Amino acid sequence: MTVQNFRHRVMLSKDNILKQSYERVADDFEELRTIVVNLVNENADLRRVRTASQAPKPLIRHVGRVNYYFVADDGPYCVRCYEQDRELHYLTAQQQYPAGTGRHCQRCKTIYIESSSRP
């Protein structure tokens, strides 16, 4: 017998005690359902927090005269983009600039000079 059929048969019954008992059980069930839904939502939130906290955090590392962000050995990432927008953007490979050797960010156009061109 499905829950719907059971409810229907109880409602057709002339037994008022049975009807009251059924209503109490139905109320308890609804209360339990609310608790389960809240627990499922809370569990999903906790899982999200745990996943976020397990992701490797970008750490700053000194390279020549500048600092870059790295995630383990992955990088270097732009410091400005990360600190302003919490976004990781790779820097270019090392290049020569008028001021020296360094890298730049293609997103925010910041140039990082690691060592001066002067001998």
Is 107 an interacting residue with respect to Zn ion (CB under 5 A)?
A: yes
Q: Residue 84 class from Cβ within 10 Å (0-12 exposed, 13-18 middle, 19+ buried)?
A: exposed
CB atoms closer than 10 angstroms to residue 63: 18
Using the minimum distance from each CB to Zn ion, give the nearer residue, 10 or 88: 88
Closer by beta carbon to Zn ion, 7 or else 64: 64
Q: Does 111 bind Zn ion (CB under 5 A)?
A: no
Residue 7 makes contact with Zn ion by CB under 5 A: no
Q: Is 101 exposed, middle or buried (0-12, 13-18, 19+ CB in 10 A)?
A: middle
* Least gap, CB of 118 to Zn ion (angstroms): 26
Question: Which one of the spans 10-18, 20-28, 44-52, 100-108 is the region binding Zn ion (CB under 5 A)?
Answer: 100-108
Q: Which of 66, 76, 77, 78 binds Zn ion (CB under 5 A)?
A: 78
- The two three-digit tokens of residue 94, written as one number: 């090392």
Name all contacts of 87-95 with Cβ < 8 Å and 24+ positions apart. Answer: 88/58
The site for Zn ion (CB under 5 A) is made up of 78, 80-81, 105, 107-108
